[in-house]
């Protein structure tokens, strides 16, 4: 059984997550670093556990929460879709059953506000966890005139 710790310690995942942070920093996009990934993973897990969902479903939410921004390594826009495809291949190579992979990649592919839908409990938990992770320290831009909506929301918190 693939656990969150297995995903976090996977060398391929580590490289891709590091590159996401590096690429987005050149764009001055809000931080999508290890701290954000761990926060979303932890909160996704806790949301489902507090609501009484099974342990494995909560674990899958944690995995999806951790990997939800991995598609930013390809492009910032529509990163949910590319992230779902990347996660599919990584999790398949790691030996995760296809049924569980489907749950994880659906959550990753549906977490973006423009095109996402809470297609499952796991997806709903990831959306809530991701969108609630706002803090002024995530904003990289210094000139408020250049802030995006996302920058303004984070800067205010």
CATH code of the domain in which 118 resides: 1.10.3210.10
pLDDT in tens, the chain (157 residues): 999 999 999 999 999 999 988 887 776 665 567 889 999 999 999 999 999 999 999 999 999 999 999 999 998 888 889 999 999 999 999 999 999 999 999 999 998 767 778 999 999 999 999 988 765 566 554 666 776 666 655 555 6
Domain that holds residue 48: 4-156
Q: What is the pLDDT of residue 141?
A: 46
Q: What is the pLDDT of residue 29?
A: 60
Rounded CA-CA distance 67/84 in Å is 9
pTM exceeding the 0.85 threshold for the entire prediction? yes
Written as six digits, the tokens of 98 are 């296809």
Q: What is the pLDDT of residue 76?
A: 80
Written as six digits, the tokens of 124 are 């709903």
Whether 84 and 106 have beta carbons less than 8 Å apart is answered as yes
User: What's the burial of 50, exposed, middle or buried (CB within 10 Å: 0-12/13-18/19+)?
Assistant: exposed
| Count of domains for the chain | 1
34-50 and 11-26 are packed helices; what angle lies between their axes, rounded to 10 degrees? 110
Rounded CA-CA distance 95/137 in Å is 37
Q: What is the pLDDT of residue 139?
A: 53
Rounded CA-CA distance 27/139 in Å is 12
């Amino acid at each position: 059984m693939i656990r969150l710790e297995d995903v976090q310690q996977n060398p391929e995942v580590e490289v891709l997550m590091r590159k996401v942070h590096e690429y987005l920093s050149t764009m001055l996009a809000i931080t999508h670093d290890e701290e954000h990934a761990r926060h979303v993973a932890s909160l996704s897990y806790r949301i489902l556990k507090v609501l009484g969902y099974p342990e494995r479903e909560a674990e899958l939410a944690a995995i999806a929460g951790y990997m939800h921004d991995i598609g930013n390594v390809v492009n910032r826009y529509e990163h949910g879709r590319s992230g779902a495809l990347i996660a599919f291949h990584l999790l398949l190579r790691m030996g995760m059953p296809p049924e569980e992979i489907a749950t994880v990649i659906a959550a990753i592919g549906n977490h973006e506000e423009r095109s996402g839908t809470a297609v499952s409990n796991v997806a709903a938990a990831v959306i809530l966890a991701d969108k609630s992770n706002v803090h002024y320290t995530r904003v990289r831009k210094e000139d408020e005139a250049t802030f995006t909506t996302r920058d303004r929301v984070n800067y205010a918190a």
